[in-house]
Chains A and B, each alone.
Chain A
Amino acid sequence: MSFKINVSTIVLAALLLTVPGEFSFAQATGSVLIQNATVITVSGDDLENTDILVQDGIIREIGQNLNAPRGTGTLDATGKYVLPGIIDAHSHLNGIGINEATNPVTPEVTMYESINPNSVSIYRALAGGVTTINLMHGSANVIGGRNATLKLRYGLGQNELKFKDAPQTVKFALGENPTRVHGQGNGIQPRTRMAVETVIREHFDEALDYRKNREAYLEAKERYDQNPQGNPPVPVAKNLRLDVLADIIEGNILVHCHSYRADEILMLARVFDEYGIENYTFQHANEAFKVAPELAEYGAHASIFADWWAYKFEVYYSTAYSASILNENGVTTSINSDSNELIRHLNHEAAKAVHYGQTSENDALRMITLHPAIQLGIDDKVGSVEIGKHADLGIWSGHPLSIYSINEKTLVDGVVYFDREADPDDVRLDRAIDPVVDYDDTSQTFYESIEGRNYDACMADVFMLFESSDNRQSWNQQIHNH
């Protein structure tokens, strides 16, 4: 095995040579002509022997025998497949904290303020062809924090990871997790699915009242400050939590709701219908297939696991055929990872929809590209290979649904962030290396090695204590609690 660092991509070169204070990276975009690939556009038909011209990070032309403008490099993709960058609509890949689990309602917190740009997991996800993630708040709270839509520009700082102009999204959670954390754990509502609904309604109503009162105060204040006559207005303090809630009701923030059972899914759909909230996504939603016709009617989306089930009671009656059922019923469905392991091969998670419900290959691939883009409100920018969209692309050795295909290059905004031909073993960023940890100590990080479902990413921060409660390296001792 060679340990030689053979770095050719500009980003890796830059990140490995970073000198503190000497290096700041603009939001880089690249220009390149990808030649002679089989292009899986996802939005339309696959295109054989096709070139893609990328300029300044944007797909400018798709066609045959395109010419590279002066100064634009070429990338020969003969025999290769180009897939839009995979989008993971549910991830906790690189948060410094995931769950503000101390209160059942916390939309005032945002994962944009919890980004760890230094996690090696980002690189490992890129290696799997992923270019965009929904870095989600955890599922401890009925109304959790806002999520962060990120591009995996590994090597850059947290601000440069943000997906520019992506709409805000927020996490909700129904069922076992919030009732267990707050009801069972702290003796405060909700303890049941009944109160999950009332917690949402109470807070929505409070937010609407607040917005009315706050706006009335601001008007009165303006009047009074200009002309201080009569009684001064009593200040109504700005309230971040209620502001976000009011914005949710007004449709400015997309809801992504952790949910499992059909009844709770319908509950939220009813409540949202009443408050006029549209364009939301049920996350996990293992039983969404049971109410697929209703979801289609409400226009609600589903973002699901390909085949996870039975790790907790509320997912016992679920099926790996659910992606196909939802798809057939007209529900916009994505397949997500919720795992730093699964995110490495979402293409093959999508392949499971082909295997189980015999969903078409193109529909299956949409579930990890265009559909999550729709659910995150960024489908005008990414999610398919189309002129004008961002050049977020994976170049695969074969058809990405084949088990024998390997992602060879990942481009974000036309910049190569992963190249299997220049793939050093140690891709840690300088600023992330703790000089106190010796080589011999580092295998203690072994316990960060995770297997998909066994690691409870969604409930991170809440059940941390359990994770290292036994010093024996059992093959499967962690808890299952998504």
Chain B
Amino acid sequence: MKKLTTLIVLLAWTGILTVDAQITEKPEFGRFAITNITIHTVTNGVIEDGVVLVEDHEITLVGKNVRISNDYQIIDGTGKHIYPGFIDSMTRLGLVEINAVAVTLDHAEVGDFNPHVNAFTAINPHSAAIPVTRVSGVTNVVSVPATGIIAGKATLIDLWGYSPDAMAVKGAAALHIEWPTAMKNSPNDSRSDEEVEEKFQGELKELNDFWAKAEFYNRMMNAFEENPQDRIRPDKDLKMEAMREVVTGELPVIISVNREKDILNAIEWAEEHSDIPVVLNEVREGWRVADEIAAAGIPVIVNTLYTPSRPYENYQRPYQNPGLLAGAGVKVVMGSGDTENVRNVIYNAGYAATYGLGREEAINALTINPAEVWGVENRLGSIEQGKQANLIITDGDPLEPATQIEHVFINGFKIPMTSRQIQLYDEFLDRDAVNR
């Protein structure tokens, strides 16, 4: 405990002295015992007055009345709460630094079919937004490339690490498809209904042709690889190679789609590709077809802070969308769609909680649900022995804006609770203090 106090004093000092302190500020690593704390395991209920032990990268124990050897750093959790770290399933974090500065944008590649580009490649571990995000309680994000029809592959990362390799939970987590719309694209779109439909059918055909080619390529390569001796090795095609793990269903496919009719089209496509795990993203009109999405067994990535999509629609629909979907039986995960303010994914979840999703399910949508959707439920998403130690310690309900995030663990590292935004606060709260 004394050690911790000293450290805090030291941190306060460095904060005042230089804005760049964070660069040299290191996380702590080793053995931690978080005691007397309310544990929100997510998967196994709430444990009052419990203990969570962390060693190396893992949660090694979750329980009560535990004897703790003295080589553990103790964090007294009296009056505090511990949750699994939150996961934002739809971001550009690490890919985009300043949206208006084109040279800092690495999320949107040229071309309509880019399954071979992977967000993992371009993650900048030193993005200023990463510390800002993690100290707010978000320990993991899916960073997703955009534009085109097949935009590229998304990556699931920890928000701590000096390299993409160190950060990656799943280097390639999903393929991202931006669903071709069968609707007019703005109130000023002067195309006829026929032209709109023709464009959609054309793009859908392109997608299906690309898919069919990828399936063929995979079969051909499998056949060759099973029996290479007698055969001539076909030429490698980078895009087609990238599609192999997709067409075999190893990698989920995110389909970004919003409007009622487009969602139904996307569901139809998903049902035609029943071996592929599909996740629908954004689905702002999802509540209109919640039963259809539920029947197809497709999970959705949603947020809540946008305006209603139709002028005659009730003002609350965006807030209610996650709750209405979950009520129909759809698995809901939160995705902010943001970059520098991924931290607001919690705020989005709060709206979902208040307007029908409920608090518990909103927490699930930030934790275990995304872990399951991205196939990492054995590593992330709950507080269970053996899972990766991605944890947040709060002084209250994390969905409440007033609640403070006091500690963050990512992959067992106890993260310094600072960011450029906090350093600016420390420096400028009493700016001229040093001159007095």
Asked if A and B form a direct contact in the complex, defined as CB atoms under 8 angstroms apart, the reply is yes
Those of A430-482 within 8 Å (CB) of chain B: 441-453, 467-468, 470-477, 479-481
B158 at the interface (CB under 8 A from A): no
Kindly report which residue of chain B lies nearest to residue A309, judged by CB atoms: B340
Collect the chain A residues with CB atoms within 8 Å of residue B99's CB: 310-312, 479-480
A-B contacts besides A120-B311, A313-B98, A356-B425, 8 pairs, CB < 8 Å:
A308-B341, A319-B420, A321-B421, A345-B305, A442-B311, A452-B306, A472-B178, A475-B90
Contact of B401 among A403, A441, A474 (CB under 8 A): A403
A309, A317, A427, most chain B CB atoms within 10 A: A309
Q: Select one of B129, B402, B424 contacting A321, CB under 8 A.
A: B424
Q: Is B181 interfacial (CB-CB < 8 Å)?
A: yes
| Chain A residue with Cβ nearest B146 | A474
Query: Known contacts A341-B306, A471-B199; is A292 also within 8 Å of B90 by CB?
Result: no
Residue of B nearest to A321 (CB): B425
Question: When each residue 254-297 of chain B gets 1 if its CB lies under 8 Å from chain A and 0 otherwise, what string results?
Answer: 00111111100000000000000000011011000000000000
A254 contacts partner chain B, Cβ-Cβ < 8 Å: no
Interface residues of A in 402-429 (CB under 8 A from B): 402-406, 423-428
Q: B183 within 8 Å of A by Cβ?
A: yes
Q: Does B185 make an interface contact (CB < 8 A)?
A: yes
Interchain nearest-CB distance for A334 vs B (Å) = 18
Chain A residue contacts of B42, Cβ below 8 A: none
Q: How far is the CA of A472 from the CA of B200 in the complex (A)?
A: 10
Are B258's CB and A313's CB within 8 A? no
Selected contact of A476 from candidates B92, B259, B402, CB within 8 Å = B92
A137 vs B26: C-alpha distance in the bound complex, in angstroms? 47
Q: Considering only CB atoms, which chain A residue lies closest to B19 in the complex? A: A317
Q: With an 8 A cutoff between CB atoms, is B71 at the interface?
A: no
Complex Cα spacing A308 to B347, Å: 14
Which of A293, A312, A402, A406 sits near B400, CB closer than 8 Å? Answer: A402
Among the stretches B28-36, B61-69, B350-358, the one at the interface with A is: B350-358
Q: Can you give 21 A-B contacts (C-beta < 8 A)?
A: A123-B315, A309-B421, A310-B98, A310-B99, A312-B99, A317-B420, A340-B307, A348-B401, A401-B401, A403-B351, A406-B354, A425-B312, A427-B312, A443-B259, A450-B307, A472-B180, A473-B258, A474-B147, A475-B178, A475-B281, A476-B92
Smallest CB gap from B403: residue in A: A355
Nearest CB in chain A to that of B96: its residue: A310
A351 sits at the interface (CB 8 A)? yes
**Distance of A404 Cα from B424 Cα, bound (Å):** 31
**Also in contact, A442 and B312, with CB within 8 A (given A348-B347, A468-B185, A476-B146):** yes
Q: How far is the CB of B119 from chain A (nearest CB, A)?
A: 14
B231 close to A (CB within 8 Å) = no
Q: Say yes or no: is A316 at the interface (Cβ < 8 Å to chain B).
A: yes
A355-B403, A404-B354 known; A471+B185 contact, CB < 8 A: yes
- Give A109-136 interface residues, CB cut-off 8 Å to B: 120-121, 123-124, 127
Residues of chain A touching chain B, judged by Cβ–Cβ distance below 8 Å, are: 120-121, 123-124, 127, 176, 289-290, 292-293, 307-313, 316-321, 324-325, 328, 340-342, 344-345, 348, 351-352, 354-358, 361, 401-406, 423-428, 441-453, 467-468, 470-477, 479-481
Q: How far is the CA of A309 from the CA of B419 in the complex (A)?
A: 14
Cα distance, A474 to B282, chains bound together (Å): 9
B307-A448 in contact (CB<8A): yes
The residues in B between 183 and 224 inclusive whose CB is less than 8 angstroms from any CB of A are 183-189, 199
> How far, in Å, is A477 (CB) from chain B's closest CB?
7
Minimum C-beta distance from A462 to chain B (A): 13
Q: Indicate whether B337 reaches chain A with its CB closer than 8 angstroms.
A: yes
Flag if A477 contacts B146 (CB, 8 Å).
Answer: yes
Verify A403–B306 contact, CB threshold 8 A: no
Q: Which of B45-53, B79-87, B426-434 contacts A (4 or more CB under 8 A)?
A: B426-434
Q: A291–B88 Cα gap in the complex (Å)?
A: 35
Q: How far is the CA of A472 from the CA of B177 in the complex (A)?
A: 11
B312 and A444 within 8 A (CB): no
What are the residues of chain A within 8 A of B354 when measuring CB–CB?
A: 403-406
B residues with CB within 8 A of A? 90, 92, 97-101, 128-129, 132, 146-147, 149, 178-181, 183-189, 199, 256-262, 281-282, 284-285, 305-316, 337-341, 343-344, 347, 350-351, 353-355, 399-404, 420-422, 424-425, 428-432
Instruction: A308 to B100: give the CA distance in the assembly, Å.
Output: 14
Chain B positions within 8 Å of A324 at CB level:
425, 429
- State which of A293, A342, A401, A473 has its C-beta within 8 Å of the C-beta of B431: A293
Write out the residue numbers on chain A whose beta carbons fall within 8 Å of the beta carbon of B184: 441, 444
B404 near A477 with CB under 8 A, answer no
Across the interface, B341 reaches (CB within 8 A) one of A345, A351, A401, A453, namely: A453
Q: Which chain B residues border A444 with CB–CB below 8 Å?
A: 183-187, 189
A444 to chain B, nearest CB (A): 4
A1 CB, min distance to chain B CBs, angstroms:
9
- The verdict on A351 contacting B257 (CB below 8 Å), with A312-B99, A404-B354 known, is no
- Asked whether A289 and B306 contact (CB < 8 A) given A355-B401, A443-B259, A481-B100, the answer is no
Q: How far is the CB of B40 from chain A (nearest CB, A)?
A: 17
Query: Is there an interface contact between A403 and B92, defined as CB atoms closer than 8 Å?
Result: no
CA distance A471 to B311 in the complex (A): 20
- Given the known inter-chain contacts A124-B307, A313-B100, A473-B256, please indicate yes or no for A352 contacting B424, CB distance below 8 A: no
Residues of B within 8 A of A473 (CB): 178-179, 181, 185, 256-259, 262, 282
Decide: B429 and A354 in contact? CB cutoff 8 A: no
Q: Which residues of A contact B309 (CB under 8 A)?
A: 443, 445-446, 449
CA distance A428 to B314 in the complex (A): 11
CB distance from A263 to the nearest CB of B (A): 15
Give A34 to B430 CA distance when docked, in angstroms.
43
Chain B residues with Cβ below 8 Å from A316 are 98, 128
Check B340 against A311 for contact (C-beta < 8 Å): yes
**A307-B344, A474-B146 are known contacts. Are A355 and B186 too (CB-CB below 8 A)?**
no
Given known contacts A406-B354, A474-B178, is B185 in contact with A289 (CB within 8 Å)?
no
Q: Cβ of A453: which chain B residues have Cβ within 8 Å of it?
A: 341
Residues of B within 8 A of A450 (CB): 306-307
- Across the interface, which residues of B come within 8 angstroms of A474, CB to CB? 146-147, 178, 256
Contact A475 B337 (CB under 8 A): yes
CB distance from A183 to the nearest CB of B (A): 16
Residues of B within 8 A of A426 (CB): 312-313
Judging by beta carbons under 8 Å apart, are B183 and A310 in contact?
Answer: no
Contacts of A477 in B (CB 8 A): 146-147
Contacts of A344 in B (CB 8 A): 307, 315
Within the assembled complex, what's the spacing in Å between the Cα atoms of A405 and B312?
25
Task: List the 6 shortest-distance A-B pairs measured between CB atoms, nearest first.
Answer: A351-B401, A321-B425, A403-B350, A312-B100, A468-B186, A310-B340
